[in-house]
Structure 1
């Protein structure tokens, strides 16, 4: 571990000690669920430890002028990801409920499908809303580009650009 990494680790530990309980209470008020709040609070600090270069410059003293504001921003992003994953899972479960019982997949198959959907969601994370929407409408709904363009109120040419952008993101992030 380099001296700079050690300084970062020490600073994150101090930040954790000073603000973890506050962050967890804040998340619990947002979520209404203690276990989810604890998980997201932990994930917030893990994000700091795993990506310190995004918040500091190399070889500089590490500190945040507004630590709670920064923690809130990180936690809100993680919260949005949680809500998006849950909405995706619920949409999948709702579609399964509409299927005839004879065609319902096994629990293991459902798990694999849900994992795949969440992996796709992670690959599309960070793309603009219309790019994500165009990709999902084309891939999951099978909509033609002209219909997607109408629904998104953009040109068909824009839909084609969106598809290229989304597919490129998926290829780059494919495991």
Structure 2
């Protein structure tokens, strides 16, 4: 009885019809069969979390877009992890967090990165220039053609979003 329910689920038939080509497409993007298989599962997991399936049943476009976004997220996480590991290497023995601490730091960095990617463009530019590049408010204001008070407003919005999301 349970099998019948699973087979009648709209995503089940979509999976049967599309997982093979999607796995091949992902493999060409990432070059690893295991990662491609994981991303296929993540793609369908996202689909299952949707409240409705709408026209998704009729088109692989949603699957391809979701898979593409997952690939982008994967490479962004890898780049962030590489930058973090490089920063640890530069610190040398002065600061060497435990593997658990490294995992927590990377998780937090990934969550902050997700928040920053969703910020409006100008807010993101202000945040990155102040927080990562160490620019002063006046320099940021001049570079973006905005006032210092607008820089402060954008920075406050970005920081609040990061704090709210990362709690």
TM-score normalized by structure 1?
Answer: 0.76
CA drift at 1:154: 4.3
Deviations 1:87-125 (CA, angstroms, capped at 9, x unpaired): 111111111111132322222222221122122223334
1:131 aligns with 2:116: no
Measure, in 2, the Cα distance between the counterparts of 1:92 and 1:117: 9
- Asked if the contact 1:24–1:41 (Cα under 8 Å) also holds between the matched residues in 2, the reply is yes
Deviation at 1:21, TM superposition (A): 1.0
What is the alpha-carbon distance in structure 1 between the residues aligned to residue 77 and residue 121 of structure 2?
Answer: 15
Greater helix content? 2
C-alpha separation between the residues in 2 aligned to 1:141 and 1:97? 20
Matched, 1:71 2:63: yes
Flag as ranges the 4+ runs of structure 1 deviating above 6 A: none
Distance (Å, rounded) in 1 between the aligned partners of 2:129 and 2:38:
32
Unaligned runs of 5+ in 1: 1-5, 57-61
Alignment of 1:5-20 (within 5 A): 10-20=9-19
The aligned counterpart of 2:146 is 155
Q: Give the paired residue count.
A: 161
**Post-superposition CA distance 1:53-83 (Å, at most 9, x none):** 4xx5xxxxx4337522221111111111111
CA RMSD after TM alignment: 2.7
Instruction: Please list, as runs of the form range in 1=range in 2, the aligned pairs for 1:9-158 lying within 5 A after superposition.
Output: 10-53=9-52, 56=53, 62-64=54-56, 67-149=59-141, 153-157=144-148, 158=150
Partners in 1 of 2:147 and 2:73 — Cα distance? 29
* Structure-2-length-normalised TM-score: 0.79
CA distance in 1, matches of 2:125, 2:86: 19
Residues 28-47 of structure 1: per-residue CA shift (max 9 Å, x gap): 10000111111111111111
Segments of structure 2 that go 5 or more residues without pairing to the other structure are none
Answer with 154-163 or 18-27: which moved more: 154-163
